[in-house]
Amino acid sequence: MKNLKQVTIKLIFTSILMLSCFNVFATNEDLEMKKFIDNLMSKMTLQEKLGQLNLPSSGDIITGEAKSSDIATKIKQGKVGGLFNIKGVDKIREVQRVAVEESRLHIPLLFGMDVIHGYETTFPIPLGLAATWNMPAIELSARIAAIEASANGICWTFSPMVDIARDPRWGRMAEGSGEDPFLGGQIAKAMVYGYQGRGADRYKLNSNIMACVKHYALYGAAEAGRDYNTTDMSRYRMFNEYLYPYQAAVDAGVGSVMASFNEVDGIPATANKYLMTDVLRTKWGFNGFVVTDFTGILEMVDHGIGDFQTVSIKALKAGIDIDMVSEGLPSLGKALKEGKVTISEVNQACRRILEAKYKLGLFKDPYKYCSLGRSAKETFTAEHRTTARKIAAESFVLLKNQNSLLPLAKKGKIAIIGPLGNTRENMPGTWSVAANFDKAVSLFDGLKAAVGNKADISYAKGSNLVADSLYEVNATMFGRELNKTKQRRSDKEMLDEALQLASQSDVIVAALGESSEMSGESSSRSDIGIPDVQENLLRELMKTGKPIVLVLFTGRAMTLPWEKANVPAILNVWFGGTEAGDAIADVVFGDVNPSGKLPVTFPQNVGQIPLFYNHKNTGRPLPEGGWFKKFRSNYLDVSNDPLFPFGFGLSYTTFSYSDVKLSDSKMAANGSLTASVTVANTGKADGAEVVQLYLRDLVGSTTRPVKELKGFEKIFLKAGESKTVSFKITPELLKFYNYDLRYVAEPGDFIVMVGGDSENVKSATFTLQ
């Protein structure tokens, strides 16, 4: 952890120093930018202005064909504002040359890409990054992603995704930071800083790229966990539970925002003026541009709010500035002539796109991100891979470790069994569009490299991913196949082979769970347990009596009641990125002590969903730890408790917490107080612990959650060491949106809770006067 912090400081120290200077320069730069763009727009035709609002799909252009393609013709005519998901600096440079040398006004293009959790060096999926609870590490992951992407021609990433997700059936939980708005907000800021830089440093370096916070708004609250589905909630819930991470990204200076697919208040977000203008720009002060998601405008026809021209008009009037793929905004010339949109609305959107290009420095140097020498030197470097490996190891969450089965000794015969045990392609995780899968490290490769000749590592697949062959095809798209259709062995043959290997081994590492594409976009699941044939394999392996470590691959919270009850050790490794196999080996063999904490609640079964820690109390609450009680809020067939609570995660050592000490029992309306605990490492191994602060407002003008995360600190303690951790509590931490959506802190009593997860806490009380 210390080495990781040193690397972090090395990469971002300069930008932090320059933060205090930002306001001095902002005014002059803004004036210069306005003067430049005013002059440019005075020369632009309507077609060229509408062209800046166009982000078409070009596919991955083949080098040498850019100047002769259909998209090149549009670029020459000034009908394109940017392109996305082209990989290769040589290709991007060639397209940019067409824009700045062959179009009338030489306006450069934006080049975007889904750089979600790394470029070629991929880090854990965002849900895994969230499990580190380490903001410097998360910022560093984004910084490295920006360095690599910018070295390959990309100046704009469609990240971070900050959608709060409380329904693990929704596949895109993998791309976000989990269920909590406070944690999500801190991560949003860290990611934006990592991509863009801070303060005066923002966009100045050729390794700073523009971030795009998404999906605004409420995309993670899709009904039934089914992707793209309707979202419907009160504005009270919206502001208190879902919007903060987007606002945090805006406060961090994010350059762009992506509209979500779903409807909000009965209006698709892409046409929702309340979201895009009233909240985003007027209330929060956002001054960047808004992009649709892929075909977001066209899809509003199916939403049923108008024909193509009508929905295009609605999008522009709502505050959309650039149209991804639909090409609805660029076709609004007819609507302008008919008086259905105004030239000022077109000019406003055009200006915002030109401002983004100006801020990125593309008018001064259109080839700022197209240096042909950087790619080889700054992509997938040894330093980047080492950092990715450390961060991956920090993301893993130890869910169970009966009789200290882990860490394993590097000796004897170790069997890796399961369909995910030897697949490089699945290690980077979903949305790793720039990764080279053949360079990723599989679990088998990682464990074998770690033991050298000290132990014997063998592998058997044991089962397919799922029994249904079509399901497996759908769950292993984009090159993540597990070769189900190519192998001719029956389920029995694979199981027999695995059991034979197990009988000859000292310990079994069961590599089970999801493939990387079982989570992510359009990968909702109604059953979120370990799939059928894998579950059967695990049960058969348990019958052998051999020690079993379940290495769980997942992009969501899963239902694992049988596994928790029966398997002695469970290590949740998410999808750890290109260095996943080596990072897993580091933790499995004890070279790294696991310190990950869950950013989502794991339910006992899908019937409990949505299940989250910061729920309301109801008028008939079930006493804590109780079940079943008639006429109380509970189930007949399962307790209210989660399988694993938010913030949970074990270590190879143990930690104790003292009682909470408050600096005062009362806080003035403009005052503050300090809550302190002493945390001790009471085990035999050095380790890291995430100390978590929760607050509860006991009486409010509206009902309040039973607890809310309001602070955390990750500390490292040597065996036997202790440290006092203090949290400053201010009225700002006590504020919420009341019934009238005013942001207020109300006088009254509060409970302070501090602990290692959301359930196991020490408490104290104070009064806000």
Could you please report the per-residue DSSP string of 403-449?
A: GG-PSPPS-EEEEEESTTTT-GGGSS-SSBTT--GGGS--HHHHHHH
Rounded-to-integer distance, Cα 576 and Cα 595, Å: 14
Q: What is the pLDDT of residues 345-361, one digit of tens each?
A: 999 999 999 999 999 99
Q: Which of 305-309, 336-340, 620-624, 737-741 has the lowest mean pLDDT?
A: 620-624
Cβ-Cβ contacts under 8 Å for 129 (sequence gap 6 or more): 117, 123, 137, 138, 141, 177, 187, 391, 395
DSSP-based three-state secondary structure for 356: helix
Per DSSP, the three-state class of 338 is coil
CA distance 50 to 40: 14
Query: Where residue 199 falls among pLDDT bands split at 50, 70, 90?
Result: confident
Classify 515 as helix, strand or coil. coil
d(Cα 483, Cα 719) in Å, to the nearest integer? 46
User: Does 21 or 630 have the greater pLDDT score?
Assistant: 630
The whole-number pLDDT of residue 440 equals 98
* pLDDT, the chain, mean: 95
> 62 pLDDT exceeds 60?
no
According to DSSP, residue 386 is labeled: H
Q: Residue 397 pLDDT > 70, yes or no? A: yes
Token pair for 548? 């079993």
Q: Map tokens 């079964």 to a residue.
A: 605
**DSSP letters for 53-95:** TEE----SPPTT-GGGSHHHHHHHTT--SEEE----HHHHHHH
pLDDT in tens, 74-100: 999 999 999 999 999 999 999 999 999
pLDDT digits (tens, 9 = 90+) for 575-602: 999 999 999 999 999 999 999 999 999 9
What are the residue numbers of the active site?
293
Question: What pLDDT score does 489 carry?
Answer: 86
**Average pLDDT of the segment spanning 439-461:** 98
Judge contact between 518 and 526, C-beta under 8 A. Answer: no
pLDDT at 486: 57
Confidence check: pLDDT of 20 > 50: no
Nearest to 261 by CA among 222, 234, 207, 235: 222
Residues 172, 107: Cα–Cα separation, whole Å: 35
- Say what the pLDDT of residue 64 is: 55
479: exposed, middle or buried (C-beta count within 10 Å: 0-12, 13-18, 19+)? Answer: exposed
Q: With pLDDT > 90 as the criterion, what percentage of the chain qualifies?
A: 92
DSSP states of 598-656 as a string?
A: -SSPBPSSGGG-S--SS----SSPPPTT----TTSS--SSS-S--SB-TT--B-SS-EE
The pLDDT of residue 424 is above 80: yes
Hey, is 335 helix, strand or coil? helix
**How large is the average pLDDT for residues 672-696?**
98
Q: Tokens for 166, please give them.
A: 């409380």
Q: Is the pLDDT of residue 507 over 80?
A: yes
Q: What pLDDT score was predicted for residue 624?
A: 82
SS3 annotation, 263-330: EECCEEHHHCHHHHHHHHHHHCCCCCEEECCCCCCCHHHHHCCCCHHHHHHHHHHHCCCEEECCCCHH
Angle among Cα 380, 385, 387 to the nearest 5 degrees reads 135
Q: What is the pLDDT of residue 67?
A: 59
Q: Which residues have a Cβ under 8 Å from the Cβ of 355 and sit 6 or more positions away?
A: 33, 37, 288, 289
pLDDT confidence bin for 200, thresholds 50/70/90? confident
Rounded to an integer, the average pLDDT of 105-123 is 98
> Which residues are 167's β-sheet partners?
none
Amino acid identity, position 262: N
Among candidate residues 440, 373, 359, 351, the one with its CA nearest the CA of residue 150: 373
For residue 668, with 0-12 CB atoms within 10 Å meaning exposed, 13-18 middle and 19 or more buried, which class applies?
Answer: exposed
Inter-residue contact 744 to 639 (CB < 8 Å): no
Give pLDDT, residue 29.
87
The confidence band for 482, taking pLDDT boundaries of 50, 70 and 90, is confident
- CA-CA-CA-CA torsion sign (447, 451, 452, 457): negative
In this prediction, residue 184 has a pLDDT band, given cuts at 50, 70 and 90, of very high
Span 630-658, pLDDT tens digits: 999 999 999 999 999 999 999 999 999 99
Question: Per residue in 66-94, is it b (16+ CB within 10 Å) or e — as a string?
Answer: beebebbebbbebbbbbbbbbbbbebbbb
Q: Which pLDDT does position 201 carry in this prediction?
A: 80
* Cα 524 to Cα 634: distance, rounded to the nearest angstrom: 27
Phi, psi of 248 (to 5 degrees): -60, -40
Q: Which two tokens stand for residue 123?
A: 């880090």
705-764 pLDDT tens trace? 999 999 999 999 999 999 999 999 999 999 999 999 999 999 999 999 999 999 999 999
Q: Is the dihedral of CA 48, 50, 55, 60 positive or negative?
A: negative
Percent helix / strand / coil, the chain, rounded to 5: 35, 20, 45
Selected residue with higher pLDDT from 10 and 417: 417
pLDDT given at position 3: 54
CA distance 335 to 295: 20
Q: Is 666 exposed, middle or buried (0-12, 13-18, 19+ CB in 10 A)?
A: exposed
pLDDT at residue 4, as a whole number: 53
Lowest mean pLDDT: which of 376-380, 483-487, 514-518, 711-715?
483-487
Residue 590 dihedral angles phi and psi, to the nearest 5° = 85, 5
**Of 237, 235, 222, which Cα lies nearest the Cα of 181?**
237
**Residue whose structure tokens are 């800046």:** 52
Q: Report which secondary-structure segment, H or E, holds 492.
A: helix 491-503
Question: Which residue, among 69, 75, 81, has the nearest Cα to 97 in the 3D structure?
Answer: 75
DSSP-derived 3-state class of residue 711: strand
Confidence class of residue 439 from pLDDT cuts 50, 70 and 90? very high
Residue 18 has a pLDDT of: 39
Both tokens of 287, joined, read: 């001054």
pLDDT at 61 over 70: no
Residue 557 to residues 167, 484, 512, 554: CA-CA distances in angstroms? 9, 26, 14, 7
Whether residue 13 is predicted with pLDDT greater than 50 in this model: the reply is no
